[in-house]
Amino acid sequence: MPKLFRKVREIRNFLRSFRCSNDNSNSIGFVPTMGYLHKGHRELIRRSKLQNDLTVVSIYVNPLQFGPGEDYETYPRDLERDLTVCEEEGVDVVFAPTDDEMYPEKPTIKIEIPGLTDVLEGAYRPGHFSGVATVVLKLFNIIQPDRAYFGEKDFQQLKVVQRLVKDLSIPIEIVPVPTVREEDGLAASSRNTYLKEEERQAATVIYRSLLLAQKLFSSGTRNAKDIKEAVLRALLSEKLVSKVDYVEIVDEEFRIRDDQVMEGDRLLVALRVGKVRLIDNWRFGDEAV
């Protein structure tokens, strides 16, 4: 079983002595999660185990990154099950703090990155990325890993974390890990458990729409508007898609691409299948899995 810590002070003490032992050469890999671990998380863990002497997984549903009316209360939680997954994957340390331990008082800090935290997910979920940034910085300060692993499924979050690391000189290597998909292409996500059977089937339209965009790109279409419209139409062709928040293309600096799409640009989508909000993205130039 992985070693389970509930308290900041205790995991700090444990990691401090680990870090300095072995002639100060021990490396720590960190996989921050909100639990309810799935195959995407397993992939993050495997990458960490390949590159580090010790792998720490945090499991914490961070209230700060949920807005009013979002799914904080219903977000799936099952620590027993998560510990089993961690054991199967050979995780060394699990950090599963309580709310009191993480936020003895409510943080007042607001962290914004204009042009990044206020667009797309940030525009639809005001305060979300400030909450993400706060908890990620806290966890980084508690774990002080050498490397931290983030899935590309939450692509904008990855960009925010990369920017924090750069702007604040954080001595951690951020390792992006490609999105892990189910056999029918749906991106692995804890929120997939919200989907009823019919909705789960309908959600495959997302991956099909991303592939359509890639196919258009491969066959020479470069106009961003044309590609976005095709994707939007494809998504809306599915009756259970009740709302599309955005279909957008950004360049590698996360600037909205409004003219010619280039290889390396990212298509980002957010939509509701029934009442379940899902996001996904695609890098132009990638091949279907």
Annotated binding site for (R)-pantoate: 65, 157
Find the shortest distance in angstroms from Cβ 112 to a second copy: 5
Of 37, 83, 86, 116, the one binding a second copy by CB under 8 A = 116
The span from the CA of 180 to the CA of 187, in Å, is 6
Annotated binding-site residues for ATP read: 34-41, 151-154, 180, 188-191
Burial 66-77 (b: 16+ CB within 10 A, else e): beeeeeeeebee
- Choose, by CB under 8 A, the member of 1, 68, 69, 109 that binds a second copy: 109
Q: Which of 42, 47, 125, 138 binds a second copy (CB under 8 A)?
A: 138
Q: Which of 50, 74, 108, 219 binds a second copy (CB under 8 A)?
A: 108
User: For the chain, how many residues are written?
Assistant: 289
Report 5-24 residues binding a second copy (CB under 8 A). Answer: 8, 12, 16-17, 19-20, 24
Q: Which stretch binds a second copy (CB under 8 A): 41-49, 169-177, 199-207, 273-281?
A: 169-177
Do residues 62 and 132 touch, judged by C-beta distance below 8 A?
Answer: yes
Stretch that binds a second copy, among 47-55, 84-92, 111-119, 257-265 (CB under 8 A): 111-119
Interface with a second copy (CB under 8 A), residue total 32
How far apart (Å, rounded) are the C-alpha atoms in residues 107 and 209? 40
Measured between alpha carbons, how far is 191 from 87 in angstroms, rounded to an integer? 23
Strands 28-33 and 147-151: parallel
DSSP letters for 165-176: HHHTT---EEEE
Q: Binding site residues, as ranges?
A: 34-41, 65, 151-154, 157, 180, 188-191
d(CA 161, CA 140): 11
For 161, the 3-state DSSP assignment is: helix
Specify whether 41 is catalytic: yes
Active-site hit among 19, 41, 47, 200 = 41
| Count of beta carbons in the 10 Å neighbourhood of residue 47 | 18
Among 169, 220, 239, 260, binds a second copy (CB under 8 A): 169
237 touching a second copy, by CB under 8 A: no
CA atoms of 68 and 267, how far apart (whole Å): 27
Point out which residues bind a second copy (CB under 8 A).
Answer: 8, 12, 16-17, 19-20, 24, 105, 107-116, 134, 137-138, 141-142, 144, 163-164, 166-171
Instruction: Tell me the catalytic residues.
Output: 41
